[in-house]
Amino acid sequence: MADATISRRVFGQIAAGAALASCAPQAGPNMAVPASRQFPPDFLWGVANAAFQTEGALTADGRGPSVWDVFPRDRIHDGSDAAVATDSYRRYPEDIALAAGLGVKVFRFSISWPRIFPTGAGALNEAGLDHYKRVVGAMLEAGLKPYATLFHWDLPQALQEQGGWVSRETSYRFAEYADAIGKRMGDRLKHFIVMNEAAVHAVLGYVMGEHAPGLANADLMGPVMHHENLAQGLAIQALRAAQSDLLIGSTLALQPSRAGGEGLLTPLHDFAADSLDQLWNGGFLDPLLLGSYPAVPRTMIGAALQEGDLAITKQPIDFLGVNYYAPAYMAFDAGAPSFIKPVPPPEGVELDAFARHVDPSGLYEMLMRVKDKYGNLPTLVTENGCSDPFSDAPGVLDDQFRIDYLRRHIAAVKSAMEAGCNVGGYFHWTLIDNFEWAEGYRSKFGLVAMERATGVRTPKASYAWFKALSETGLLDEA
Ligand code: GCO
């Protein structure tokens, strides 16, 4: 969110909303060292990836274009595209063998909506569905539990042309897609992650223009977020109606939002941080788990919220997926057109490749928030991991920095469990270096490197380390 600015008008709405809400205290994470480094035997170790980042084969078997297919190539920082990616539409048996070789129990992947409904509506594309039946079959055969994400940002372009998530109709199309997957695949595919990081898609895709669909209009934030939340609720209902024994959750990108400035303006920086927290975290947690919106998002959503909607957004779920990478820092800035802006982390802290604060206590903090505020429902860390330093060179094979990052974040998960959080699994992002959205291939999160010219996969040091962890459940010491 490096250069985010939020329009004066939206800021005014935020101000009005925040004035109504009590300012959340800036919680100190206060994370203890775990008493034991042994995870329970039923803890779910897994790996995660997403269709658009891995599959390639963008026109195979009748797939329609997604918003990411048409996102201008000159806005991908290395000028690349996902036409091949990790070639996993064809090479998925190799990926599944690599995951099975890791000793994990779960393979989280995503189903590409435009492979199932190439234009987002109308007749189902049987060839696309058959592909995922084969994928699920291969995972089950390899002893892996498939966890399928239904929306990992690759909206059918035909729906975008009718407004995308700005249009309420998209929510109903999404429920039809969920219904079709539940009915046609629910006999063998039992675990569903309905949405992935709706906040990221809304903010980067519609407000900041850094991700597809590439729009930069802060006024879209409210309707987009609400239609995503509505779609999620409708899809959960559709899945439950399609098949009664499914385990259904959804994944949110949770980020502690911290004040990034001090001095006389501290109360205003606190206010900026609280506003983002209400929008980014509360704006997605609350409608799903409480059936309400915090004041800031409620103000932004306005008339898009129709009577009865909050009874749809609030659904019982079997697990909450939490993705965690870094905290956000926000400041008040009278000189900025928005008055509120993301700022760099405090000086001197450890930074990741995206110049974000490497802070495992933020993961602990968000897991504790889920426990304390939302009834301690079963929770899975559905993504966490770190990138190599950005580079066009192949992935670093002796990736000790990744092992160090994972060791500290997984210790934070264990601390949270010891503090009573109901966390049942950890899925590493990601298995194989892949197409990292606007960064293209220069950012690499894999346990396995890939040579782009040949697709040849080579496990990194972190692969062996994660294998030992998932096989024993014992987190080693540095
Ligand atoms: C995310 C995305 C992933 C990213 C990962 C690394 O959910 O943010 O699911 O697609 O690749 O987060 O940035």
Banded pLDDT at 424 (limits 50, 70, 90): very high
Nearest to 240 by CA among 311, 171, 318: 318
Question: Does the pLDDT value for residue 333 go beyond 90?
Answer: no
3-state helix vs strand vs coil in the chain, percent to 5: 45, 15, 40
Mean pLDDT of the chain, nearest integer: 94
Q: How many residues does the chain have?
A: 478
**How large is the average pLDDT for residues 337-355?**
89
Residue in the structure block whose two tokens are 């009573």? 420
| 340 phi and psi angles, rounded to 5 deg | -130, 130
- Asked if 411 and 37 count as a contact pair (C-beta separation under 8 A), the reply is yes
CA of 442 to the centre of ligand 1 (A): 14
Which whole-number Å values give the CA distances from 457 to 47, 70, 205, 272, 461, in the listed order?
A: 16, 28, 31, 44, 13
Lowest mean pLDDT among 218-232, 295-309, 330-344, 463-477: 330-344
| 83 phi and psi angles, rounded to 5 deg | -60, -35
CA 116 from centre of chain:
21
Banded pLDDT at 459 (limits 50, 70, 90): very high
Question: Does the pLDDT value for residue 359 go beyond 50?
Answer: yes
CA of 437 to the centre of ligand 1 (A): 8
Within 8 A by CB and 6+ apart from 183, the residues are 242, 243
Residue 130: its pLDDT value, please?
98
Q: How many CA atoms lie within 13 Å of 171's alpha carbon, on the beta-carbon side?
A: 23
Residue in the structure block whose two tokens are 């189903």? 111
Question: Does the pLDDT value for residue 292 go beyond 80?
Answer: yes
Q: What percent of the chain has pLDDT over 90?
A: 90
Banded pLDDT at 17 (limits 50, 70, 90): very low
- 253-285 pLDDT, tens digit per residue, is 999 999 997 788 899 999 999 999 999 999 999
Q: How many CA atoms lie within 13 Å of 397's alpha carbon, on the beta-carbon side?
A: 5
- 87-138 pLDDT, tens digit per residue, is 999 999 999 999 999 999 999 999 999 999 999 999 999 999 999 999 999 9
Instruction: Give SS3 for 191.
Output: strand
Residue 26: its pLDDT value, please?
39
CA dihedral angle for residue 436, residue 438, residue 151, residue 460, rounded to 10 degrees: 0
Query: H or E element: which one contains 329?
Result: strand 328-332
- 155-206 pLDDT, tens digit per residue, is 999 999 999 999 999 999 999 999 999 999 999 999 999 999 999 999 999 9
**Pair of tokens at residue 478:** 């540095």
Q: CA 268 to CA 289: how far, in whole Å?
A: 29
Where does ligand 1 bind, in terms of residues with CB under 6 Å? Answer: 50, 53, 196-197, 200, 323, 383, 429, 436, 445
- Measured from the Cα of 437, ligand 1's closest atom is 11
Nearest to 191 by CA among 431, 369, 425: 425
Banded pLDDT at 337 (limits 50, 70, 90): low
Q: Which long-range contacts (CB under 8 A, 24 or more apart) does 415-418 make?
A: 415/31, 415/32, 415/33, 415/34, 415/364, 416/363, 416/364, 416/367, 416/368, 416/371, 417/34, 418/32, 418/34, 418/35, 418/36
User: By alpha-carbon position, which residue is closest to atom 5 of ligand 1?
Assistant: 429
User: By alpha-carbon position, which residue is closest to atom 11 of ligand 1?
Assistant: 436
Question: Does the pLDDT value for residue 425 go beyond 70?
Answer: yes
Parallel, antiparallel or unpaired: strands 191-196 and 247-253: parallel
CA of 22 to the centre of ligand 1 (A): 32
CA of 250 to the centre of ligand 1 (A): 15
Secondary structure of 194-249 in the HEC alphabet? EEECHHHHHHHHHHCCCCCCCCCCHHHHHHHHHHHHHHHHHHHHHHHHHCCCCEEE
Q: CA 251 to CA 379: how far, in whole Å?
A: 10
- 361-403 pLDDT, tens digit per residue, is 999 999 999 999 999 999 999 999 999 999 999 999 999 999 9
Characterise 239 by phi-psi region: left (phi > 0), alpha (psi -120 to 50), beta (else).
alpha
Residue 338: its pLDDT value, please?
57
- Asked if 330 and 203 count as a contact pair (C-beta separation under 8 A), the reply is no
Nearest to 285 by CA among 252, 243, 317, 259: 252
- Asked if 194 and 151 count as a contact pair (C-beta separation under 8 A), the reply is yes
CA of 322 to the centre of ligand 1 (A): 12
Residue 171: its pLDDT value, please?
99
For a pocket test of ligand 1, which of 68, 323, 390, 435 has the largest count of ligand atoms closer than 8 A to its C-beta?
Answer: 323
Q: Cite the active site residues.
A: 197, 383
Taking the chain, what is the end-to-end CA distance rounded to the nearest angstrom? Answer: 32
Within 8 A by CB and 6+ apart from 263, the residues are none
- Measured from the Cα of 152, ligand 1's closest atom is 9
CA dihedral angle for residue 84, residue 89, residue 94, residue 100, rounded to 10 degrees: 120
- Measured from the Cα of 251, ligand 1's closest atom is 7
